[in-house]
Structure 1
Amino acid sequence: MTLLGLYDLRAAQLDLVAAMLLAHRAAMMAVAGALLFLAASRMTFLRWLVTFVALSKMLFVIAAFPVREAVTLTF
């Protein structure tokens, strides 16, 4: 395999990892939204507020972690 072929393979691996991380981020946001919906329907306002704040912090951590840095850390 030539050097150019190895470079293309590496780029394809990085694209795959970035796509997996984006899919994971979307799945985590969907789970957080579902939990927030359940919290709103079954809890008192104070418990709902605490859950909302906790989920907001979790979503901020998920959204603030850049995909490019995750790919750099992975490889």
Structure 2
Amino acid sequence: MAKKLNFADLVTYRRERNLNQSEFWKRFGVTQSGGSRYETGRSLPKSVAMLLWLRDKDRISDDDLKDALTAINKR
């Protein structure tokens, strides 16, 4: 059974995946410094929280995340 994503402990969530801040947050279209702020208590934007939830539940793949961010950045 998959662990429930705990937005209050993003550092542990990221570290369990053996990723540094840059690697982890880039997947969600967030800079390292932005990710650091979220990890220290700043509220996540709803869009980032939704992407984290979708990825955590395996509802979206890393490739799908990349494609979505590419499409968004082309606008």
What TM-score range do you get, normalising by the shorter chain? under 0.3
- Could you tell me the TM-score, scaled by structure 2's length? 0.25
- Could you tell me the TM-score, scaled by structure 1's length? 0.25
